[in-house]
Structure 1
Amino acid sequence: MSKYKCIIFDCDGVLVDSEPISIQILVNMANSYGASIDLAYGMKHFKGSFMYECIEKISKLTKEALPDTFENDYRKQSFEAFKKDMKPIEGIKNVLNELTIPFCVASSGPENKIKLNLELSGLLPYFENKIYSCYTLQKWKPDPAVFLWAAKDMGFSPNECLIIEDSLSGVKGAKLGGFDVFGFTAHDYNNELKAVATKTFGNMAELLKLI
């Protein structure tokens, strides 16, 4: 029997394979302002960052302030791209079907983005009324606020919950909140998670055994 009573999943890169799509849009938009970067750069520097951090990083690359419409333009373009190419992370449906304890999602993205990506990947029915967004709190990872909110609302304390994350900021936030956190390393391009996470794994097929 698992020692955990609740699983809190990150969304992008853990439930849905959205990050190559969304980061490519960011890269394209950054390059339109003269950044001259590629997807590999974007995955290394933007993955796991919330939007305001990404905008700040791009502004430093372009040496000019980005327009106030940048985030709205990004959301519009990325949502259109998601509708064409969104897929669930390989093996995650089997994990969700096999879990016998409660679970939810806590993400840095806005709630409408979380819902759209879960719907497009066929995962939304698993997470109805169990979606927690950093935008609601206006506090972003590595601040643990979204995890603490999710745990409390689900009816559990941090030591009863396990968080599944794929970004360094998410893993750090989980640890700061007093949670165990397993790092999903399929796209851990900087090899950052092993030194910080409680455990790491590279394939969703491994997760049920680790729990």
Structure 2
Amino acid sequence: MKKYKCVIFDCDGVLVDSEPLANGMLVEMANELGANIDLDFAYKNFKGNSFQSCQKIIKSIAKVPLEENFETEYRRRSFEVFSKFIKPIQGVESVLKSLTIPYCVASSGPQDKIKLNLQKTGLLPYFENNIFSCYDVQRWKPEPHVFLHAASTMGFTVEDCVIIEDTPIGVKAAKSGGFDVFGFADEYTHELFEKETTKVFTHMNELKGILNQSF
């Protein structure tokens, strides 16, 4: 197996269990505008997507213009929910403790969201300043720029790094940047990840074993 020198983690759905909360809030706010969607729709259409893309989808379904403060209100309401209910992904802290090579997080969310969720789940000390956001580079997945930025800033080449992702959009971003990518699969993504990722796993215990063989 290829030996890696750096691990780049996505945040939402990989480090923190934020997807039900974040997507639930998007469903709530979209339905307030008459969209009539559910969480299953959100997972299929919003998960891993940029907020700008999510807004476009909501606008097209609700058929009404979104208020200028839609994102600001979403951030306010979702941050309240994160602060009360966010949890780490089961087993991920054990993975982080086992790593003997550098690692970082690269996420589509803004810096304050990433730091809030890592802080609330007790994971922030593991990452210190090694936190990278699509908002830093103003380019969003499926473009690879946030991963390229993270690798370069950490001092590694693309070939040195492996990406840990849980969404098809994130996997596409990693692959378009030339990275190997391990897919954290669920019922929606397992079949696709079997075809599209370097390795597939469904629990962090599996990832821990895979990574321990990879450096």
TM-score, normalised to structure 2, is 0.95
Q: 3-state DSSP class of the match of 2:132?
A: strand
Partner of 2:194: 194
1:81 paired with 2:44, answer no
Q: Counterpart amino acid of 1:41?
A: F
Distance 1:180 1:61 in 2: 35
Label 1:187 to 1:166 Cα distance change in 2 as closer, same or farther (>3 A). farther
| Aligned 8 A contact 2:167 2:189 in 1 | no
Q: 3-state DSSP class of the match of 1:193?
A: helix
Partner of 1:159: 159
What is the alpha-carbon root mean square deviation over aligned residues?
1.3
Partner of 1:120: 120
Partner of 1:67: 67
Partner of 1:129: 129
Task: State the shift of 1:190 in Å.
Answer: 7.5
**Once the two structures are superposed, what CA deviation does each residue of 1:61-84 show, in whole Å capped at 9, x if it has no partner?**
011221111000000000000011
Partner of 1:185: 185
Moved more, 106-115 or 60-69: 60-69
Distance 1:194 1:72 in 2: 37
**Once the two structures are superposed, what CA deviation does each residue of 1:154-202 show, in whole Å capped at 9, x if it has no partner?**
1110001010000111101111111100000136458432221111100
**Once the two structures are superposed, what CA deviation does each residue of 1:96-141 show, in whole Å capped at 9, x if it has no partner?**
0011010000000000000000000000000111000000111001
Q: 3-state DSSP class of the match of 1:8?
A: strand
Distance 2:153 2:190 in 1: 33
> Which consecutive unaligned segments of at least 5 residues does structure 1 have?
none
Q: 3-state DSSP class of the match of 1:48?
A: coil
1:107 paired with 2:130, answer no
Partner of 2:41: 41
Task: State the shift of 1:2 in Å.
Answer: 6.5
Distance 1:189 1:3 in 2: 26
Q: Counterpart amino acid of 2:140?
A: W
TM-score, normalised to structure 1, is 0.97
Count of aligned residue pairs for this structure pair: 211
| Aligned 8 A contact 2:8 2:147 in 1 | yes
Partner of 1:20: 20
Query: What percent identity do the matched residue pairs reach?
Result: 55
Partner of 2:209: 209
Q: Counterpart amino acid of 2:198?
A: T
Label 1:202 to 1:209 Cα distance change in 2 as closer, same or farther (>3 A). same
Label 1:190 to 1:34 Cα distance change in 2 as closer, same or farther (>3 A). farther
1:56 paired with 2:56, answer yes
Task: State the shift of 1:210 in Å.
Answer: 1.4
